[in-house]
Amino acid sequence: MKIIKRILAVTVSLGLLAWLISDDRWRGVGEVVSRVDRLTLALSTAGFLLSYLLRTLRVFDEFRAQAKGRFGACLRIVLIHNAMVNVVPFRGGEAAFPLLLRQSFGIPLPRAVASLFWFRLQDAFVVLALAALVWPGLHPALKALAVAGVLTLAWWLPRWARMPHNWAEGKALTAKLGKIRDAFAESTRHARFGWVWTLANWTVKLAAQASLLAALIPAGIAIGAAGALGAELAAILPIQGVAGFGTYEAGAAAALLPSGIALAAGLQVALALHLFVIACSVTAGAGAWLFPAPAAHQASAAAASDLQSASSAADGAQTKISAE
């Protein structure tokens, strides 16, 4: 099954590449980028930097007992993890998060993976709710129903995880599932303001993407928001293009179609936006890797060897994340 998913992911990315090289379409991307003024570019960059800080606050809030005030170490983890997710194929970069948590704070891998899973679920819930609210042409009753459904599931899932159970007394597989549920319950219990940081992060991140996409089209901010949400919703799909290329652009272009933006134009502006997102994440991640936080210099050397031998951990993490 994993082989099939990877073949499909490569096919999607190659399809985007073939579209770009046909009729010199890649030159149109440069023309699209030239439409953006410096102020919009600066504000979008500042928005992404603020988004990184808000994600760090979410990690720092949940692992405050282990971090012991080392906000810089949490920021380093977030920046490296974000860069690897945007670059490493097949979402393999997700493995960086639990590995760096273990190396920096001694967090057990099951606990760190469960925390990552909960973070991704929170992300999915917030994006789905925001998409339902701003999606063009959707009846208000359907918007209300969708938001209510997302809120209900987000409220119920942590409480289900904390309910008493005796899975450890069953078979080996049941016992393992019980341990996973316990780790998940612990993740949902420790973050005091997790939902606040998640909502704030996505508000800032989507606003930055929406303003930049609106300038790239050019169009109103509402159309830019629809395209940005389409791109982020594509990231929830179980099949992703290599480093997100192909699926990200297709999601944004599909969301722009109801606003009268042609598919070809939508793919061009979405690719320009995607390249900007990757540039921001890689630049910030490289800086975090080169300048490790105090008291974490030993973890920097260990992280390189661990991440190179983490393909099996990446597959396990992807299996959990794909459940979104």
Q: Give the model confidence (pLDDT) of 276-294 as tens digits.
A: 998 899 999 999 988 765 5
- Asked if the model's pLDDT at residue 137 lies above 90, the reply is no
Q: Which of 164-168, 251-255, 294-298 has the highest mean pLDDT?
A: 251-255
Rounded average pLDDT over 110-122: 89
**How many Å apart are CA 248 and CA 269, to the nearest integer?**
11
Could you tell me the pLDDT band of residue 303, with boundaries at 50, 70 and 90? very low
State pLDDT tens for residues 8-20. Answer: 667 766 776 676 6
Dihedral pair phi/psi, residue 170, rounded to 5°: -90, -150
To the nearest whole percent, how much of the chain has pLDDT over 70? 76
- Asked if the model's pLDDT at residue 172 lies above 90, the reply is no
Residue that is written with structure tokens 């910030």 in the block: 284
pLDDT of residue 299: 43
Could you tell me the pLDDT band of residue 1, with boundaries at 50, 70 and 90? low
State pLDDT tens for residues 84-96. Answer: 888 887 677 888 9
Rounded average pLDDT over 315-319: 49
To the nearest whole percent, how much of the chain has pLDDT over 90? 37
Q: Could you state, in order of their start, the residue ranges of all structural domains in the chain? A: 47-321
pLDDT of residue 297: 41
- Asked if the model's pLDDT at residue 274 lies above 80, the reply is yes
Query: DSSP state, 293?
Result: P
Count Cβ atoms within 10 A of the Cβ of residue 323 and give its class: 0-12 exposed, 13-18 middle, 19 or more buried. exposed
- Two tokens at 193? 């303001």
pTM value is 0.79
pLDDT of residue 50: 97
**How many Å apart are CA 30 and CA 212, to the nearest integer?**
15
- Asked if the model's pLDDT at residue 321 lies above 90, the reply is no
Q: Are 115 and 62 in contact (CB under 8 A)?
A: yes
State pLDDT tens for residues 225-269. Answer: 999 999 998 887 777 777 677 888 889 999 999 889 998 889 889
Q: Is the peptide bond between 218 and the residue preceding it cis, with omega within 30 degrees of 0?
A: yes
Nearest to 216, CA basis, from 276, 278, 280, 273: 273
State pLDDT tens for residues 37-47. Answer: 889 999 999 99
State the average pLDDT for the chain: 81
